[in-house]
Amino acid sequence: SRAIKIAPSILAADFANFGAECRAVEDQGADWIHVDVMDGHFVTNITFGPATCAAIRPHVRGVMDVHLMIAPVDPYIEGFAKAGADIITAHMEAGPHVHRTLQAIRATGAKAGLALNPGTGLDGVENLLDLLDLVCVMTVNPGFGGQAFIDMSDKVRRLRALIGPRPIHIEIDGGMTPDTAPLMARAGADVLVAGSAVFKGGSVVDPTPYGTNIRAI
- Which one among 10, 18, 22, 36 touches Zn ion, defined by CB under 5 A? 36
- Which one among 73, 173, 175, 191 touches Zn ion, defined by CB under 5 A? 173
111 touches Zn ion (CB under 5 A): no
Torsion sign across C-alpha atoms 138, 136, 117, 10: positive
Minimum distance from CB of 45 to ligand DX5 (Å)?
8
**174 marked as binding residue:** yes
**What CA–CA distance (Å, rounded) separates 205 from 189?**
28
Cβ 4 vs Cβ 185: under 8 Å: yes
**What CA–CA distance (Å, rounded) separates 189 from 192?**
7
Nearer to Zn ion, 102 or 194 (CB): 194
**145 marked as binding residue:** yes
Q: Could you count the other beta carbons within 10 Å of the beta carbon of residue 114?
A: 26
Nearer to Zn ion, 36 or 39 (CB): 36
Instruction: State yes or no: is 154 an active-site residue.
Output: no
Binding site for ligand DX5 (CB under 6 A): 9, 11-12, 34, 36, 67, 69, 140, 142-143, 145-147, 173-176, 193-197
67 touches Zn ion (CB under 5 A): yes
Instruction: State yes or no: is 86 an active-site residue.
Output: no
Q: Could you count the other beta carbons within 10 Å of the beta carbon of residue 51?
A: 10
**40 marked as binding residue:** no
Helix (H) or strand (E) holding 191: strand 191-194
**49 marked as binding residue:** no
Side-chain half-sphere exposure of 21, counting CA atoms within 13 A = 25
**What CA–CA distance (Å, rounded) separates 181 from 192?**
7
List residues forming the annotated binding site for a divalent metal cation: 34, 36, 67, 173
In the complex, which residues of this chain contact Zn ion (CB under 5 A)?
36, 67, 173
Looking at the annotation, which residues are catalytic? 36, 173
